[in-house]
Chain A
């Protein structure tokens, strides 16, 4: 009996075997390949890469498979692997102005240089379950080929650059007198600068940021946002090699960028102009990039001299709770045994109840005596 209370190595091994069996499911059904996941569940893979902070579709697909489709578990797997990787250097900032665009829309201008390009979007689909459409193996021809990643093609200017030319939007300045921070290498302390906040948001849970961004739209720190531009496509990643004296290309990655344009009334020092909220995520991850941009703007409240009234503006609250690997770990740790502490509380409750009873009994006798 006593032994049954405690777990053991055998129990853990059995649990792992059961897990493997459940992961495989019915052996009569063909096994998923990681290639299938990477190709056909590419948005799940993108989310795992973004919140896992590691651009590797193959590993992310493996993680999705190993995690039985639990994306937070998959993110966790990727993060734990990433933590062990040596750091060779820092790449140059990617230039999204030179992106080979697959999708690019602006909600602020009807037409603009480079045009609007819908790309592969759910936006105008009717959300009707259509087994035929998604199981039919044949591909429908795409009417218009995606824009070619031609190095000579004219870069498509970003909406914020167009606004910036007229001074209508605050300039994006590199205000750092130090290298860009990395919260996975240096402990984060508050108040944090925007580079670290953006990193935390980029790694942050999509659902959490979505809810916070939504709350700003509903009046909890309203920022009057316009989706100035959302663009998705491939960008070049380059590493500066000091020995060579020039940057070498490491390859191309797909990213989604969202630039929110927000109202700003101005103050004593500054005339009224639009302000920015920025979102960037690996892969095709539009919801995440938009939510991130809303949160980034809300978290700039102090810098912009705005009144701090809402959760989304509260840097400590947002950044301390946005990481789903941390959150899931701590919530789920409640499954671990706590019987030592519970025993202590049990003892206290019994003592307090006994004392209460004794007091009640004491009151009774006193009343009887009076």
Chain B
């Protein structure tokens, strides 16, 4: 048996063209879930196969790739995906948000503002924002087609009735360009405002569920809410214990078994950048 040879960025060119067609369609209909013939990838479903296929379809030899998971460049799955592309596409990789041309992410949007020409690729587990209100694909597609989104507000209404406020903290549904309700993937709602009018192209890939969707640059993205219970993001009482940043998303780190804890930036690149500046 000879060792099998793989194409640039793993996928064969035919598959890439198929994925690019799906991406183009997704960009043309912001927020609409385009089905595509997702391939089996050498990592498991649910571990970023959708994001990896989207990245593989758009990446070129001159791209600079950054991969984050939970905001961090050094979490195991981010390391593994970055290593995959370094191997099969031989591209430059970086941890610096500003330097990257493609950023593949799971569960976060970087703190540093994105700029034109960058592509943010989200890994998506469940692309259907109505899935847990209506399990049937045949029905949810009809609801999207007919813009019947009353159910989403029923869920938000129930939150307020029960808790006094909306109790959805991540994967918070958004309306894209006033037409499609979209699941932003399980990013904390803290990151939702960053999607609105972003200069970067945002692509979403769900491998297991075989869907691609997109937010083109400068598109309108509105988090769903009620007039008298407007959308709000999480706030943290204390700044980052390492870099002192405020207005960023923090991870809680347990220090001991006596209740000791500290809060640090979830975006490791942002945190290191600030600490580097402080030292300089």
Contacts and interface: CB of A to CB of B under 8 A. Distances in A.
Given A12-B76, A340-B249, A341-B188, A79 B138 contact: no
B276 interface: no
**Interface extent on A, as a size class?**
35 or more
A246 interface: no
Interface stretch (B33-41, B59-67, B150-158, B213-221): B33-41
Interface string A323-341: 0011011111100111111
B45 A326 contact: yes
Nearest to A337: B70
Nearest to B34: A187
Contacts of B186: 338, 340-341
A330 B80 CA distance: 17
A187 B35 contact: yes
B238 interface: no
B170 A333 contact: no
Contact of B4 (A12, A84, A332): A84
A80 B40 contact: yes
Interface string A148-177: 000000000000000000000000000000
A197 B255 CA distance: 52
A348 B45 CA distance: 29
Contacts of A274: none
B75 A7 contact: yes
A340 B70 contact: yes
Nearest to B264: A2
Interface string B9-20: 011101100000
B45 to A, nearest CB: 3
B36 A187 contact: yes
Contacts of B41: 80, 83
Nearest to A355: B164
A246 to B, nearest CB: 28
A189 B12 CA distance: 24
A337 B40 contact: no
A186 B210 CA distance: 10
B19 to A, nearest CB: 11
Contacts, number: 151
B138 A316 contact: yes
Interface in A65-88: 76, 79-84, 86
Does more than half of chain A's interface fall in helix, strand or loop, or is it mixed?
A: helix
A337 B138 contact: no
A306 interface: no
Interface in B27-67: 35-42, 44-47, 49
A11 interface: yes
Interface in B62-84: 69-72, 74-77, 79-80, 83
Contacts of A189: 35, 137
Contacts of B80: 12
A184 B44 CA distance: 16
A180 interface: no
Interface in B144-174: 163-164, 167, 169-171
Interface string A254-278: 0000000000000000000000000
A366 interface: no
A330 B138 contact: no
Contacts of B268: 6
B138 to A, nearest CB: 5
Contact of B169 (A80, A329, A332, A347): A347
Nearest to B268: A6
